[in-house]
Amino acid sequence: MRQNSRLRAGISLIEIMLAFMILVTATFSAAGVISFGHRGTVADFRQVEAMQILVDRMNKLTNMHYASLDSFLTAAGGNEYTFNNDIEGIVLGDEVKIDKNTYRVHATLKRQPITFDSLMELDFPNPSYMPASPSTWLFKDRVSAAFNGVDNPYKVIKITVSVKPVGGMTDEREFAAVSYVADLES
Amino acid sequence: MKSHDKMHVSGEESVSAVLKYGDNSRRNGMALVIVLAFSTILLILGVVYLRTFSQSTHISGLQLDQIQAEFFARGMQNIATFKIKRYPDFFLRSYRYHVYQNRVNTGDSSVPPPLVPFTNPSPFQKFTGTYPGRTNDLLHHMHPTEDSTLGFTTPLKIATWSTTFNLRSAEDFNRAFIEIDVYVRMEGRDLVSQYRMSLDASQTRKIPGS
């Protein structure tokens, strides 16, 4: 009877210790999950803000005229250049601060070679030709046109903006967008 | 009487002790049960939290794809507009010829037959850049090798893109609305996004000597 009593008392102790260990493990795991989630939430917020910066910079750059963008490249001295300092009031840099967060915002401009193949034109002389009647029109092929800085001047600039949150608790990914501005003035 | 002493009693005392303190054997394992229940709840909460978090990350990926596709489409519309401005006569005449060809092909007897048989590809197909036998064009999907050589879409991951032109005419094509549609599908997505640009265009003719 006494042995049984001691055994039961021992079981109670083991049970409490086991329960305590499980509780500690579960609590630490929960704390880890909450911490991970918190870091994720902060990273999510920075990613959303990074996307807003990306849209803002892209809008500003794509609304500029081809001639302005081309002049930046001429000043930089190349057909492709990555700008990490402000241009025309557009804030760029390795450490752009928005409230408490810091972002790396770069813009790359590139004179983009393009080619238009399979071009055609009206074939003349054509005695039957009547301007208002398509049935009288004859087409013929014409040579393709390359705007590559050799055959013809460049006419398209590719804009790439990249935004990356920096200085955070986690290494976050970089966001980038691409667009093109064509020379519609000349 | 202390609780660990109650096991020393026997007989009537034992019965009275059980009645007084309750049956302790029923309480054995209760701490474990409570802790396990508590841990299970914590586990469920943690899983739900992580699932919510991972879903929000997925949503931000979709948003980024949409932003990338929209800006890319805007750029393609700029290039398409440049092509129209560069070759306005080719665009306008090939489109009108395309409309005429469709009317002939549908058996419209009010239109005269062409001077020469219709060619395949048609002039308008040549303007758009893609037709059977030529599927690779700047305004459409480029071959990955050519794309990487030109660095055209880098660093985007675009699965396919294409551009279509339409002309909504008025006043016998002297005034028209040009519609440029760009279709973009990002890599790893099924959704094809359509982006439309409309331009109001008019045509004037300069009379020689005026």
What per-residue confidence (pLDDT) applies to A15? 83
Q: Write the ipTM.
A: 0.86
Lowest mean pLDDT among A115-129, B14-28, B47-61, B113-127: B14-28
What per-residue confidence (pLDDT) applies to B26? 60
Could you tell me if A13 lies within 8 Å of chain B, comparing CB atoms? no
Q: Is B87 close to A119, i.e. CB distance below 8 A? A: yes
What per-residue confidence (pLDDT) applies to B20? 55
The chain-wide mean pLDDT, for chain B, equals 84
Q: Is A112 close to B150, i.e. CB distance below 8 A? A: yes
| Sequence-distant (≥ 6) Cβ neighbours of residue B153 within 8 angstroms | A178, B72, B142, B147
Q: Is B49 close to A37, i.e. CB distance below 8 A? A: yes
- Which residue would you say has higher pLDDT here, B136 or B119? B119
Q: How confident is the model at residue A30 (pLDDT cuts 50, 70, 90)?
A: confident
Counting residues of chain B whose pLDDT is more than 70, the rounded percentage is 82
Cβ-Cβ contacts under 8 Å, B74 against chain A: 62, 179
Q: Domain coordinates of chain A in residue numbers?
A: 11-113+148-182
Lowest mean pLDDT among A72-76, A132-136, B53-57: B53-57
What per-residue confidence (pLDDT) applies to A36? 84
Q: What are phi and psi of B133, to 5 degrees?
A: 100, -15
Could you tell me if B177 lies within 8 Å of chain A, comparing CB atoms? no
Q: Is A51 close to B129, i.e. CB distance below 8 A? A: no
**Measuring CA to CA, which residue among A175, A183, A165, A97 is closest to residue B71?**
A175
What per-residue confidence (pLDDT) applies to A37? 80
Counting residues of chain B whose pLDDT is more than 90, the rounded percentage is 50
Could you tell me if A18 lies within 8 Å of chain B, comparing CB atoms? yes
CB B98 within 8 A of CB B128: no
Q: How confident is the model at residue B1 (pLDDT cuts 50, 70, 90)?
A: very low
What per-residue confidence (pLDDT) applies to A62? 97
Interface of A with B in 23-82 (CB under 8 A): 23, 25-27, 29-30, 33-34, 36-37, 40-41, 44, 47-48, 51, 54-55, 58, 62
Could you tell me if B140 lies within 8 Å of chain A, comparing CB atoms? no
Query: What is d(CA A16, CA B34) in angstroms, rounded to the nearest whole number?
Result: 11
Q: Is the pLDDT of residue A156 over 80?
A: yes
- Which residue would you say has higher pLDDT here, A157 or B23? A157
Q: Is the pLDDT of residue B8 over 80?
A: no
The length of chain B, given as a count of residues: 210
What per-residue confidence (pLDDT) applies to B3? 45
- Which residue would you say has higher pLDDT here, A159 or A28? A159
Q: How confident is the model at residue B135 (pLDDT cuts 50, 70, 90)?
A: confident
Query: What is d(CA A108, CA A81) in angstroms, rounded to the nearest whole number?
Result: 6
What per-residue confidence (pLDDT) applies to B117? 93
Q: What's the rounded mean pLDDT across residues B138-150?
A: 90
Query: What is d(CA B141, CA B158) in angstroms, rounded to the nearest whole number?
Result: 9
| Sequence-distant (≥ 6) Cβ neighbours of residue A64 within 8 angstroms | A88, A181
